[in-house]
Chain A
Amino acid sequence: MLIQGSCVVEQLLTREEAAKKLEPSVGIRQFQKYLDLASLYLPEFGDFRDEENGGLNGRAKLTNWHLPVLQRIRSYVLAKGSLKKVAIELKNHPEKFLGA
């Protein structure tokens, strides 16, 4: 019997691939900024913070599961026009960016 259907599996992404997957796509520098904000304010992105020295942790693995949150940050940046506003929103209402 052949079972047909689709199922989402964890897929490792490089920072470049993930940056291209955002809608609209962004450059790698901008992407790192989003990741920086997400890891600073969302516990779910804590892995992306360097525990010893602060700043971003380059070794943390990025997967497709991280994309929806980063996409929300991307959309919010587009809507509000500044990273600072996103940072304030992330601090005050992190749940807006998590969601199912």
Chain B
Amino acid sequence: MIVKEFAQALKKVPGKIVDELRRQYPEQKWTVDSPVPEEILARFQDITNSERLQPQKSPLADIPEATITKTDEAIQQASYKLTAADKETISGAIAVQNEQSKILGASTGVTGALLFMESLIGAKGTVLDAFAEQSMLEVDNQITEIDQSLINLAEEASTRLGKSIQKKEQLKARLNLLRERVSSMGTQIRF
């Protein structure tokens, strides 16, 4: 039975069956014309049986059902029996797979949460860095302002000094004038 027929029997889309087969048997190439593996057929035996036996019935009508005529039929029968025994193993494997999916989901969740934390811390760091930078800028501004004030103060002081020197000179000149007056007065008095 090929995939197309199998899908028809199950009333499913062949593409979905191909997907499922690729999932189960990644080492093989699957198309809608590939033969469906016996173990899969066995799992769906009840559903596919009616479809599968109908076309065979007319030519084999007079042969008793239990008689095995061909080797490949014998192989098929044997494989049915084997798969029936295997069914439990398969369902066990499915349970394990489910468990695996659960664990995988949890680990993905943890990964996601860690990623979230990582970016949170990153962003927080960015904001703090920006804040620190801003504060540093503020301090720099203050320092330049203080420097400027000091320079202004020094300038003011030197102007004052210059002025007072000027005044001192003026005072000296006046004093000289006064001395001259006094000395001339002395000569006048003498004469």
Contacts and interface: CB of A to CB of B under 8 A. Distances in A.
Contact of A7 (B105, B119, B131, B134): B119
B26 A53 contact: no
Interface of B: 13-19, 22-23, 26-27, 101, 104-105, 107-108, 111, 114-115, 119, 122-123, 126-127, 129-131, 134
Nearest to A94: B104
B108 A53 contact: no
Contact of B26 (A7, A49, A87): A87
Main secondary structure of the interface of B (DSSP, over half): helix
A70 interface: no
B154 to A, nearest CB: 35
A54 B19 contact: yes
A52 B13 contact: yes
B114 A100 contact: yes
Interface residues of A, number: 27
A88 B15 contact: no
Nearest to B123: A7
